[in-house]
């Protein structure tokens, strides 16, 4: 096991399977990743909303923090309330900087003797370096020997339960170990599509065989990065590097719900004074949902205008297959962040009308148990 992730272009343990399935590959965060398969992004998106889609997310960073009260230690770097987590429970949080900006967003799950983290692929080397530099007394283990699969959609849990009996009894945002082919698979009931589903951490040596068994189920189809992006956009979920950056605070991003009453009051994380001030007074700008009129999608960095003046920009935008039209998210001045506000978008040199709308564009269908 290496001490840190390599930076050269890599392939996940499922690369050969993707190629066999006719995937179109793109470089992403240092990996050759499937952006779509033969069915195409629209069909893959709709299949996930209707049945079960299988995503290879092995490029993400899986990290374990051992010993020395890791929840208490990690709270020095994130505003999430990790000490309140019971074993088996998971929380979404983010690394912040001294200005309250987001260095990365991540999932943290408390187990009996450690913390299991999933961080973004583009940031995992930086995140591991930050952890090592900041958390003395905590052993930081990068799980280079495990793949990560996501099975998402209304039939995903039933399929997973077929192969791993007991998965269906898991609550949303919880995790547990299961055994398949004499190997341990660590499963969380979570995902990045707005649908119910699971993410499965599995030894690299077993990833291909397990993925093939999942794909042999009639409900399951392979899904690439293209549909992963359109699904999370419809669900109003942030993408690091677009909707979250070192210049964006969790409060501006509409993520105040991730910070508990205790952490708001006590602080103790980077940028706490900035975030506490924004919680008290409100931020100067806010992330909002934006519905462009017509059929032209508004892409990243599209200028947002109000009364002819620039008031923000689109950070994520594209076509939403489930809503059959363009959808976008972006940051606007607080005065324009009210639902129903009329805006204009500068697309290819022309002004196009748009409206501020509530997020998400497609209702979340997470498990209720």
Residue 368's pLDDT is: 87
Regarding whether 161 and 89 lie in a shared domain, the answer is yes
Specify the pLDDT at position 68. 73
| Whether 22 and 90 share a structural domain | yes
Is the Cβ–Cβ distance between 27 and 57 less than 8 Å?
no
Beta strand 10-11 with 31-36: parallel, antiparallel or unpaired? parallel
Q: Name the band, by pLDDT with cuts 50, 70 and 90, for residue 225.
A: very high
Contacts of 319 (CB under 8 A, 6+ apart): 230, 297, 325, 326, 327
Integer Cα distance of 15 and 32 in angstroms: 8
Residue 119 domain-assigned?
A: yes
**Peptide bond connecting 302 to the previous residue in cis, omega within 30 degrees of 0:** no
What range defines the domain where residue 314 resides? 256-357
Provide the percentage of residues in the chain whose pLDDT is more than 70.
98
Boundary of a domain, candidates 235, 268, 291: 235
Residue 2 predicted with pLDDT over 60? no
DSSP H or E segment with residue 74: helix 70-74
In angstroms, rounded to a whole number, what is the distance separating the alpha carbons of residues 202 and 242? 29
Could you give the 3-state DSSP secondary structure of residue 293? coil
pLDDT in tens, 299-358: 999 999 999 999 999 999 999 999 999 999 999 999 999 999 999 999 888 899 999 999
User: Which of 188, 206, 235 is the last residue before a domain boundary?
Assistant: 235
In this predicted structure, the answer to whether residue 112 has a pLDDT above a threshold of 70 is yes
For the cut 70, the answer to whether the pLDDT of residue 12 exceeds it is yes
pLDDT digits (tens, 9 = 90+) for 155-177: 999 999 999 999 999 999 999 99
**Is 250 domain-assigned?**
no
Look at residue 197 and tell me if it is in a domain.
yes
CATH of the domain at 79: 3.30.1360.120
Other C-beta atoms within 10 Å of 276: how many?
19
Q: What is the pLDDT of residue 7?
A: 52
Say yes or no to pLDDT of 361 above 70.
yes
User: Taking the complete model, does pTM exceed 0.85, yes or no?
Assistant: yes
Same-domain status, 231 and 261:
no
Is 245 part of any domain?
A: no
Residues 135 and 47 in one domain: yes
**Do 229 and 314 belong together in one domain?**
no
Segment 18-45 mean pLDDT: 97
Q: What is the average pLDDT value for the chain, to the nearest integer? A: 96
**Residue 246 domain-assigned?**
no
| Residue 297 domain-assigned (yes or no) | yes
Task: Report residue 31: phi and psi, to 5°.
Answer: -125, 150
Q: Is residue 187 part of a domain?
A: yes
Most distant pair of Cα atoms in the chain: their distance: 64
Count the domains in the chain.
2
The token pair at 108 is 């943290």
The pLDDT of residue 175 = 98
Summarised one tens digit per residue, pLDDT across range 184-223 is 999 999 999 999 999 999 999 999 999 999 999 999 999 9
User: The domain that contains 308 carries what CATH number?
Assistant: 2.40.30.110
Say whether pLDDT at 5 is over 70.
no
How many residues are listed for the chain in this entry? Answer: 369
Q: What is the pLDDT of residues 231-282, one digit of tens each?
A: 999 999 999 999 999 999 999 999 999 999 999 999 999 999 999 999 999 9
Verify that 204 and 285 share a domain, yes or no.
no
Any domain includes 248: no
Across 29-38, 122-131, 328-337, 345-354, least confident range: 345-354
Q: What is the pLDDT of residue 8?
A: 79
What residues contact 168, with CB distance under 8 A and at least 6 apart?
157, 158, 160, 161
Q: Give exposure, 293-309, as e/b (b: 16+ Cβ within 10 Å).
A: eeeebbebebbbbbeee
Same domain? For 6 and 154 the reply is yes
Residues 59, 3 share a domain: yes
Q: Are residues 133 and 58 in the same domain?
A: yes
């Amino acid at each position: 096991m290496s001490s840190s992730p390599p930076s050269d272009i890599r392939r996940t343990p499922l690369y050969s399977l993707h190629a066999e399935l006719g995937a179109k590959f793109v470089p992403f965060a240092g990996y050759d990743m499937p952006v779509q398969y033969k069915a195409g992004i629209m069909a893959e998106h709709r299949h996930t909303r209707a049945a079960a889609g299988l995503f290879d997310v092995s490029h993400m960073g899986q990290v374990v923090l051992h010993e020395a009260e890791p929840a208490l230690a990690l709270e020095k770097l994130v505003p999430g309330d990790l000490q309140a987590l019971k074993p088996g429970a998971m929380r979404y949080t983010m690394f912040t900087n001294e200005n309250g900006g987001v260095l990365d967003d991540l999932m943290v799950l408390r187990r009996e003797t450690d913390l299991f983290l999933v961080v973004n692929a583009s940031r995992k080397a930086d995140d591991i370096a930050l952890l090592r530099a900041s958390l003395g007394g905590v052993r930081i283990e990068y799980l280079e020997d495990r793949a990560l699969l996501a099975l998402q959609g209304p039939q995903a849990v039933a399929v997973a339960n077929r192969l791993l009996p007991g998965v269906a009894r898991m609550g949303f945002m919880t995790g547990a170990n299961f055994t398949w082919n004499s190997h341990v698979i660590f499963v969380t009931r979570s995902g990045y599509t707005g649908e119910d589903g699971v993410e499965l951490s599995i030894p690299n040596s077993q990833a291909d065989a397990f993925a093939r068994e999942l794909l042999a189920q009639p409900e399951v189809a392979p899904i690439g990065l293209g549909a992963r992006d359109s699904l999370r956009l419809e669900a109003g979920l942030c993408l690091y590097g677009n909707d979250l950056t070192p210049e964006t605070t969790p409060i501006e991003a509409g993520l105040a719900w991730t910070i508990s009453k205790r952490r708001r009051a006590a602080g103790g994380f980077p940028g706490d004074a900035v975030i506490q001030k924004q919680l008290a007074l409100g931020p100067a700008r806010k992330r909002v949902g934006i519905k462009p009129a017509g059929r032209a999608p508004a892409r990243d960095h599209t200028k947002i205008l109000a009364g002819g003046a620039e008031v923000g920009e689109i950070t994520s935008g594209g076509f939403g297959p489930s809503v059959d039209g363009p959808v976008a998210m972006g940051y606007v001045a607080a005065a324009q962040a009210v639902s129903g506000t009329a805006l204009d978008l500068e697309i290819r040199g022309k002004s196009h009308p748009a409206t501020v709308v509530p997020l998400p564009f497609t209702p979340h269908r997470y498990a209720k148990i």
